[in-house]
Structure 1
Amino acid sequence: MTEGSGGRIGVGMVGHAFMGAVHSHAWRSAHRFFDLPMVPHLAVLGGRDLARTKAAAAKYGWASVQTDWRELVASDDVQLVDICTPGDTHAEIAIAALAAGKHVLCEKPLANTVAEAEEMAAAAEQAAARGVRSMVAFNYRRVPAIAYARRLIEEGRLGTVRHVRAVYLQDWLSDEQAPMAWRLRKDKAGSGALGDLGAHIVDATQYLVGDLLTGVSAVTNTFVHKRPVEGGAPGELGDVTVDDAALFLGRFASGAVASYEATRFALGRKNAMRVEVNGSLGSLAFDFESMNELSFFDSSEGDSAGFRRILVTEPTHPYVGAWWPPGHLLGYEHTFTHEVVDLVRAIADGTDPRPSFADGLQVQRVLEAVERSAVQGSVWTDIQTGAAQ
């Protein structure tokens, strides 16, 4: 069932922590600013603890709650399932939802392993043949400045892309006494900074240049191997089983080279996601801490050439026309609203939204190749490709 009653699409969301909060905001606000063919209805919120889930539902505007995600998926009020849970549950929930004929939005990375991602991509392909849509929540594609940068590259403004560099830096784990969290357990998260942050910059760069990575050479490191167990006995420590930092070189199918860095140990960097692309005719650079701007260099300007600032707030820029007058800035939360807008429109149009589960699988293959390369001493490791960006 694609559409609920009265031109609505009922959403059931599993998980209500950080991602659940920002996804809730997106579902609430999308139709208030964008002309959508269906109005999202926040039908059911899922969580393991009934009291906490009820409190979150009241705060974020959900109509009802469920403590069993299977009941949420089965609900007649739900036509779309939004998965905001740790990675170890993505495959089971997504595959069940697709089999039940429910559209799916799944947080990144798609899964914890390539095998799980392959199962999810196969289930998505089968469901698409029945008109059931799915998408991975790589929200940085929906930053207007990044979408505009892709447009400039597609128009040939950079010429032949030669070099890509990307970093994603945070510092929230720099304190060795910071407690254990699910993101520090491989069985829950799949990997550490690599999957949490590296997945974003892999997808963003492949999206920007319209090309796929074909190989990597990597190093990963864990700086703090044990951390206090929150709520545990005094002095109780848990084992950190994921990477704290990942650095790798890459090569695109076109021959362009790339470098990547993802860490949660960069003191002073709260959410510094930065990308630069150098081509034969020009360069562009993006910094999420100045997310409404692009830096652009055009070599055709001769001896007056220099990086210039483009303020990406014009109504002709991607997504911006639905918001505020030029110069009035957008924020992090808007990227998720844009995500919801694109997904709802694709469902109504009967088209497959992007990034698809196949795109998510491609990113998972890159992450897996990075891990293999690091274990083998930075050995160059090929990546199986197959998804268009």
Structure 2
Amino acid sequence: MIGYGFMGAAHSQGWRVAPRFFDLPAQPSMSVIVGRDPDGVTAAAQKWGWEEAATDWREVIARDDIDIVDIVTPGDTHAEIAIAALDAGKHVMCEKPLANSVAEAQAMTDAADRAAARGVRAMVGFTYRRVPAATLARDLVAAGRIGQIRQVRASYRQDWLSDAEAPLTWRLQKDRAGSGALGDIGAHAVDLSEFITGLRLQSVSGILDTIVAERPLLGEGIGLSGTAAAERGEVTVDDVAVFSGRYGSADGSYAPLGTFEASRFATGRKNALSIEVSGSLGAVAFDLERMNELEFFDATLPATEQGFRTIIVTEPDHPYIRAWWPAGHTLGYEHGFSHQVVDFVSAIAEGTQPRPSFADGLHVQRVLDAVERSSAAGSSWIPIPN
């Protein structure tokens, strides 16, 4: 695994726990974790159970005993590491968004295509697909339980930047993060909407805004630790993104609209990824802050019996649940990363393409790019290339 910050902890938990609860077709070994700071990465290896630590990712991917490379670094490093790892014959899991630009994502997808011809697999880490309630929503929609899809509403709201004096970290620098709320959390809303509906966005119209334009030059990722708090730097990414999208039609019928919001200034919202899909026969609604629940509306019932009902997604027959605890014993944020490991390792063992693929990640990158271009052009509608 290359990187050891917040996502490093989450992915480490996934790699460590998945083989102990699920019967995997192959057993992963947590061989080496890589980071630039020798002391920091050594501490991470000891804390999370990696066999060794290293500081040079190029040396690690050249090793014959490494089969999988998991990339959890900032977005500006994804392309170089992933392409090198794939060309070296390593299976690659890469955190979202896939890259910082469409060009980088395209190069990564091309590398994944080359590698696939040799049986080497690549997957992008849109983990929320693997929250059992979100997967159940996809299953209900695919089974036709809500009928023809008519409208989608999706948002991802957090408030961790609402303090104007919070420091200027790498996530607020375009050259490192690619974009702000749009790519950091809006990408999840886009991917989850397409995963649940089975439809792809074809065009978008949106606007981006930066609420706090300057922040103190303190914190990780900018090499200025210890700088006086009075010194400030420019925020070069968006704080909030609001956009609409038109999906393609699966069968030539109505092509539904979707509305999206991504904000890191939604005061009081800590990790509120929510999506509601309305159809001709019913609706489903999911909120990550209530991640063990799925709301389901059945419009085929008599009017006297209609109303959203809450499904507690903890039964053995629900997605992924059988491997965990007795019914009613809820799961948490970290479990999605174990499910991600299960699906990735299983696909490698079976010789199949894991999803979401790098091509799926490239599509989301094109959506993000189109939203940014739409905002720059006065919210005009921008088509998304296939």
Aligned-pair identity (%): 61
d(CA) in 2 for partners of 1:64, 1:98: 22
1:155 pairs, out of 134, 143, 150, with: 143
Partner of 1:382: 383
Letter in 1 for 2:261: E
1:13-162 aligned at under 5 Å gives the runs: 13-162=1-150
Offset of residue 266 of structure 1: 0.6
d(CA) in 2 for partners of 1:135, 1:251: 26
Ranges of 4+ aligned residues in structure 1 off by more than 4 Å: none
Partner of 2:346: 345
1:242 pairs, out of 234, 237, 240, with: 237
Letter in 1 for 2:37: D
d(CA) in 2 for partners of 1:326, 1:234: 51
What per-residue deviation string (whole Å, max 9, x for no partner) do you get for residues 310-352 of structure 1? 1111111110000011110001100010000000000000111
Quickly say closer, same or farther: Cα 1:234–1:297, change in 2 above 3 A: closer
Letter in 2 for 1:240: V
Offset of residue 234 of structure 1: 3.9
d(CA) in 1 for partners of 2:243, 2:211: 17
Stretches of structure 2 lacking an aligned partner (at least 5 in a row) = 219-224, 250-254
When normalised by structure 2's length, the TM-score is: 0.96
d(CA) in 1 for partners of 2:300, 2:247: 26
d(CA) in 2 for partners of 1:276, 1:74: 45
d(CA) in 2 for partners of 1:53, 1:24: 13
d(CA) in 1 for partners of 2:234, 2:352: 44
Partner of 2:222: none
- SS state of the match for residue 14, structure 1? coil
Matched, 1:324 2:322: no
d(CA) in 1 for partners of 2:272, 2:141: 23
- SS state of the match for residue 7, structure 2? helix
Farther off after superposition, 38-47 or 233-242: 233-242
Matched, 1:209 2:197: yes
Partner of 1:6: none
Offset of residue 76 of structure 1: 2.3
d(CA) in 2 for partners of 1:314, 1:164: 27
d(CA) in 2 for partners of 1:132, 1:308: 43
- SS state of the match for residue 275, structure 1? strand
Aligned pairs, how many?
Answer: 373
What per-residue deviation string (whole Å, max 9, x for no partner) do you get for residues 27-56 of structure 1? 001110000011111101000000111001
- SS state of the match for residue 28, structure 2? strand
d(CA) in 2 for partners of 1:99, 1:330: 37
d(CA) in 1 for partners of 2:232, 2:374: 29
Offset of residue 88 of structure 1: 0.3
What per-residue deviation string (whole Å, max 9, x for no partner) do you get for residues 277-299 of structure 1? 00000011001111011111101
Offset of residue 233 of structure 1: 2.7
d(CA) in 2 for partners of 1:188, 1:75: 28
Offset of residue 174 of structure 1: 0.4
When normalised by structure 1's length, the TM-score is: 0.95
d(CA) in 1 for partners of 2:263, 2:65: 41
Offset of residue 194 of structure 1: 0.2
Letter in 1 for 2:66: V
Offset of residue 239 of structure 1: 1.0
What per-residue deviation string (whole Å, max 9, x for no partner) do you get for residues 94-152 of structure 1? 00000000000000000000000000001001100100000000000000011111110
Partner of 1:358: 359
d(CA) in 1 for partners of 2:367, 2:2: 27
Partner of 1:251: 246
d(CA) in 2 for partners of 1:233, 1:165: 43
d(CA) in 1 for partners of 2:320, 2:362: 26
d(CA) in 2 for partners of 1:350, 1:144: 24
d(CA) in 2 for partners of 1:272, 1:329: 18
Offset of residue 302 of structure 1: 1.8
What per-residue deviation string (whole Å, max 9, x for no partner) do you get for residues 211-250 of structure 1? 1000011011001111001121341111100000000000
Farther off after superposition, 356-365 or 298-307: 298-307
Matched, 1:193 2:181: yes
